[in-house]
Chain A
């Protein structure tokens, strides 16, 4: 875990904050379940595969031709070749890297926007809350994929950063809603009143007295946003609106469909990316559910 017993035991100027962190750490340690370890290890393995795989194996370009059309798996190309004779295994490593990066960026952007809007709405209340939640609810009802399609059409050159950013910008409302609900209940707590009496400003209270107490929710929201971002990118890529000049898991699937690998039986071109996407989404969901169980004893069952 991130906090060692020594550092968590320290009592800082804001004693109760560290205390609660310490309490949470102990709770986490006692409740860590096999699901949590399983999903964490799977995710770390996938991240390692994407980052270190190409370096260790010395594959520096996923887009060079190494064989013919849909060569079957062999000693040289472990997972065969795709429609342009490129190595599927190399593409898989780079594709995972692209998908994870875009998802990560989208998750950060969505969580940050959602956190700001949710805490401000929940803490301020009144007209600010009404207004911000109105925007959030309207954004929630309009399907984000449609907005993403229209924006992507307008962008001729879609870099990883741009893709991650636009996906994040359309997916924050979920986080904002959850954060607002948490903030509204947290702001009634005594320690917030004490901070207010001590003369703390709004920003100070939100950063020090509210956000630390819902960190577990924020982490869960981030994990969900990360997974949703990866899937959104794959959806866009399959529609032909993915990142340009690179390969992602969704783009691999799009090539496989366009070049009829499914109907010609070249399973190596589409089964690996499909399984890897599923594995990423599954382990992120499991990670989120197990974090939920750790912090929410009511979900734990004997």
Chain B
């Protein structure tokens, strides 16, 4: 096996282990709810009088049957795995008879369309800005560094709230919430697309600005380290062209940034979920918020599982990309995972 193949195999095994841990955690933690989730929701429904006796009986029976909550824990776990394998996440407690996977699929696309471009664009712009400000110093560094530091320290939701207030409420430049106009249905026509685009601007901006800030701060620090390295002095002494030196620096400083991206995806996603809530954007975050308020445990559990899987996959993709761009991994496997 070449070192690169060994790297791929190791990473795949790690991914599978983390995936298994995520499945078990998601299964066990929801069962920490005193009694069991079905009894808990039944008690609340009965107290609130929001469901008729017939509907309650249906939900109760379908849940007991689907999850086998009267069986021992290990059997429940296999039932849970079996349901997952069929892509079935059960029925929503609060919005029965809607299935959890239907609710999640409706919101998943909105979340992906918001977060993927924000993370990618934020990463690229942030790194270029960070490397430039480290290399050029002067006024660029004096403005980029403090501004990036401030923005990256800003919790996503604080920036979101302020953008929402300034641009949507005070100046009324953009709509103040939702994913598209209230009077529309999702369809592929000009009116819908332009309305969706208008609703997209503010949530996207609040995510991308924070990503750019965070990446720029990290890249600047990395580049300063590299600027001081012996190979830079040596190349300068040899009279190597400045542009080439910047290329060396960028390539070396970028590697820890890629690792940083893999490690921070979880934080980014959790911050982005709250951004959706601020803008009532019809993604997973808003669905999660509504489900927590309704004590809709089955939907919450489905969303937490989907988030874990998304983060794990993103992580895995970044690690594989790292294997492609790090020459040391192509040459030999290194000790540090």
Binding site for B on A (CB under 8 A): 133-134, 137-138, 140-147, 149-151, 153-154, 156, 227, 231, 234-235, 238-241, 253, 256-257, 262-263, 265, 267, 270-271, 274-275, 277-278, 281-282, 284-286, 289, 298-299, 301
| Interface residue? B254 (CB, 8 A) | no
**A–B Cβ pairs within 8 angstroms, 29 of them:** A133-B337, A138-B17, A141-B312, A141-B315, A143-B267, A143-B270, A144-B266, A144-B270, A146-B308, A149-B288, A150-B29, A150-B30, A153-B33, A234-B155, A235-B157, A239-B274, A239-B288, A240-B292, A240-B293, A257-B278, A262-B161, A263-B176, A263-B177, A265-B170, A278-B154, A281-B154, A282-B149, A289-B149, A298-B224
| Interface residue? B225 (CB, 8 A) | yes
Q: A142-B266, A240-B292 are in contact. Are A267 and B312 (CB under 8 A)?
A: no
Smallest beta-carbon distance B129→chain A, Å = 17
Give the docked Cα–Cα distance between A143 and B32 (Å): 19
Among residues of B, the one whose C-beta sits closest to the C-beta of A139 is B21
Supply 9 further A-B pairs (C-beta < 8 A) apart from A234-B155, A238-B157, A239-B289: A137-B337, A138-B21, A143-B266, A147-B29, A253-B161, A263-B176, A274-B158, A277-B155, A281-B154
Q: Secondary structure at chain B's binding surface: helix, strand, loop or mixed?
A: helix
In the complex the two chains form, is B155's CB within 8 Å of A153's CB?
no
| Interface residue? B34 (CB, 8 A) | yes
Give the docked Cα–Cα distance between A154 and B295 (Å): 11
Residues from chain A with Cβ under 8 Å of B161 in the complex: 253, 256-257, 262, 270-271, 274
Give the docked Cα–Cα distance between A241 and B300 (Å): 12
In the complex the two chains form, is B266's CB within 8 Å of A145's CB?
yes
Give the docked Cα–Cα distance between A278 and B152 (Å): 10
Smallest beta-carbon distance A114→chain B, Å = 15
A-B pair number, CB within 8 angstroms? 147
In the complex the two chains form, is A271's CB within 8 Å of B165's CB?
yes
Residues from chain A with Cβ under 8 Å of B155 in the complex: 231, 234-235, 277-278, 281
In the complex the two chains form, is A270's CB within 8 Å of B337's CB?
no
In the complex the two chains form, is A145's CB within 8 Å of B270's CB?
yes
Smallest beta-carbon distance A224→chain B, Å = 11
| Interface residue? B14 (CB, 8 A) | yes
| Interface residue? B22 (CB, 8 A) | yes
In the complex the two chains form, is B18's CB within 8 Å of A265's CB?
no
In the complex the two chains form, is B266's CB within 8 Å of A154's CB?
no
Give the docked Cα–Cα distance between A140 and B337 (Å): 12
Smallest beta-carbon distance B294→chain A, Å = 10
In the complex the two chains form, is B33's CB within 8 Å of A154's CB?
yes
Q: Which of A149, A265, A282 contacts B154 (CB 8 A)?
A: A282
In the complex the two chains form, is A142's CB within 8 Å of B297's CB?
no
Residues from chain A with Cβ under 8 Å of B293 in the complex: 240
Q: A142-B311, A150-B26 are in contact. Are A235 and B158 (CB under 8 A)?
A: no
Q: A142-B308, A146-B308 are in contact. Are A235 and B29 (CB under 8 A)?
A: no
Among residues of B, the one whose C-beta sits closest to the C-beta of A234 is B155
In the complex the two chains form, is B29's CB within 8 Å of A151's CB?
yes
Q: A137-B337, A150-B30, A289-B149 are in contact. Are A142 and B312 (CB under 8 A)?
A: yes
Give the docked Cα–Cα distance between A140 and B292 (Å): 25
Chain B: interface size category = 35 or more
Residues from chain A with Cβ under 8 Å of B315 in the complex: 141
In the complex the two chains form, is A141's CB within 8 Å of B221's CB?
no
Interface centre among A156, A227, A270 (most CB of B within 10 A): A270
Give the docked Cα–Cα distance between A143 and B25 (Å): 12
Q: Which of B18, B267, B270, B277 contacts A138 (CB 8 A)?
A: B18
Residues from chain A with Cβ under 8 Å of B267 in the complex: 143
Interface centre among A151, A256, A257 (most CB of B within 10 A): A257
In the complex the two chains form, is A234's CB within 8 Å of B157's CB?
yes
Give the docked Cα–Cα distance between A150 and B301 (Å): 8
In the complex the two chains form, is A143's CB within 8 Å of B269's CB?
yes
Smallest beta-carbon distance B154→chain A, Å = 5
Residues from chain A with Cβ under 8 Å of B225 in the complex: 298-299
- Interface code B208-241, partner A: CB below 8 Å = 1, 0 otherwise? 0000000000000100110010000000000000
Q: A263-B177, A282-B150, A299-B224 are in contact. Are A153 and B300 (CB under 8 A)?
A: yes
- Interface code B126-139, partner A: CB below 8 Å = 1, 0 otherwise? 00000000000100
Interface centre among A141, A143, A274 (most CB of B within 10 A): A141
Among residues of B, the one whose C-beta sits closest to the C-beta of A152 is B292
Interface centre among A150, A154, A253 (most CB of B within 10 A): A150
Among residues of A, the one whose C-beta sits closest to the C-beta of B177 is A263
Smallest beta-carbon distance B16→chain A, Å = 11
Among residues of B, the one whose C-beta sits closest to the C-beta of A174 is B263
Give the docked Cα–Cα distance between A45 and B208 (Å): 31
| Interface residue? B84 (CB, 8 A) | no
Q: Which of A134, A235, A267, A271 contacts B270 (CB 8 A)?
A: A235
Residues from chain B with Cβ under 8 Å of A257 in the complex: 161, 277-278
Shortest beta-carbon contacts, A-B, top 10: A143-B266, A154-B32, A145-B270, A150-B29, A282-B153, A274-B158, A281-B153, A285-B153, A146-B304, A154-B33
| Interface residue? B162 (CB, 8 A) | yes
Residues from chain B with Cβ under 8 Å of A253 in the complex: 157, 161
| Interface residue? B68 (CB, 8 A) | no
Q: Which of B26, B34, B149, B176 contacts A286 (CB 8 A)?
A: B149
Give the docked Cα–Cα distance between A206 and B293 (Å): 47
Q: A142-B312, A301-B224 are in contact. Are A262 and B169 (CB under 8 A)?
A: yes
| Interface residue? B181 (CB, 8 A) | no
Give the docked Cα–Cα distance between A262 and B150 (Å): 23
| Interface residue? B164 (CB, 8 A) | yes
Residues from chain A with Cβ under 8 Å of B196 in the complex: none
Interface centre among B29, B224, B308 (most CB of A within 10 A): B29
| Interface residue? B323 (CB, 8 A) | no
Q: Which of B29, B34, B176, B297 contacts A156 (CB 8 A)?
A: B34
Residues from chain B with Cβ under 8 Å of A238 in the complex: 157, 274, 277
